[in-house]
C-alpha cells in the first residue's frame, strides 16, 4: 500500500539521494516539476560527482566528472492536497546540439514510501543537453511527456 505524502515530505525524499551535496548543486541542477491533471512529475539532472561515493555505490551510479544522472518521481495529487508516490513506466532520451541522441535506461528505486527512477548519461563540459522523458503512471493508459534543456559542467 502506498503512503500519502505531503509536498514537504516528497521534496525531502527526492533530495535524499543528493543530500550530501546540496550545497554544491548550482542553479544548473535545480529540481523542477510539471503537473498533468492528477499527476505531478518531479525531475532533476545532476552531475554524478555531487554524490557521496557511498551513496553512488548504493545506487550503482558511476561517479565521473562527465557523467550525470536523472532522478524522476511521479506523484498522484490527492483531493485533500496530499500526494502519493506511484510506480510508472519511465522512458526517455537525451540529445545534444549536434542532434546526437542516446536512450536513457531507468532503474526503479523504492526508499521508504518514496518511489523514483534513476538514469545515467554522459556529457561534455558545458554541453547543452535536451532531455525527452515519457512517463506512464501504473495502471493508466495515458502517458505524459516532458522536454527540457540544461547544461552541466565537468568538475
**Residue-level pLDDT, tens digit, the chain, 155 residues:** 444 544 444 444 444 444 333 333 333 345 799 999 999 999 999 999 999 999 999 999 999 999 999 999 999 999 999 999 999 999 999 998 888 999 999 999 999 999 999 999 999 998 899 999 999 999 999 999 999 999 989 87
Do the Cβ atoms of 39 and 74 come closer than 8 Å? yes
Architecture of domain 7-152: Sandwich (2.60)
The three grid cell numbers given for residue 147, joined into one nine-digit string: 522536454
For residue 107, what pLDDT is reported? 96
For residue 99, what pLDDT is reported? 87
For residue 71, what pLDDT is reported? 96
For residue 30, what pLDDT is reported? 53
| E strands, 13-87, in order | 32-36, 39-47, 67-77, 83-85
pTM value > 0.75: yes
Amino acid at each position: 500500500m502506498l503512503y500519502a505524502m505531503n509536498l514537504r515530505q516528497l521534496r525531502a525524499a527526492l533530495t535524499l539521494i543528493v543530500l550530501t551535496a546540496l550545497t554544491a548543486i548550482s542553479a544548473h541542477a535545480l529540481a523542477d516539476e510539471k503537473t498533468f491533471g492528477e499527476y505531478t512529475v518531479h525531475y532533476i539532472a545532476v552531475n554524478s560527482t555531487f554524490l557521496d561515493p557511498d551513496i553512488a555505490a548504493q545506487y550503482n551510479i558511476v561517479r565521473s566528472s562527465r557523467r550525470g544522472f536523472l532522478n524522476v518521481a511521479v506523484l498522484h495529487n490527492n483531493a485533500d492536497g496530499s500526494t502519493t508516490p506511484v510506480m510508472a513506466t519511465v522512458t526517455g532520451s537525451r540529445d545534444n546540439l549536434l542532434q546526437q541522441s542516446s536512450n536513457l535506461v531507468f532503474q526503479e528505486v523504492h526508499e521508504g514510501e518514496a518511489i523514483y527512477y534513476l538514469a545515467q548519461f554522459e556529457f561534455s563540459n558545458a554541453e547543452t543537453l535536451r532531455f525527452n522523458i515519457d512517463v506512464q503512471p501504473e495502471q493508466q493508459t495515458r502517458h505524459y511527456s516532458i522536454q527540457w534543456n540544461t547544461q552541466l559542467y565537468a568538475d
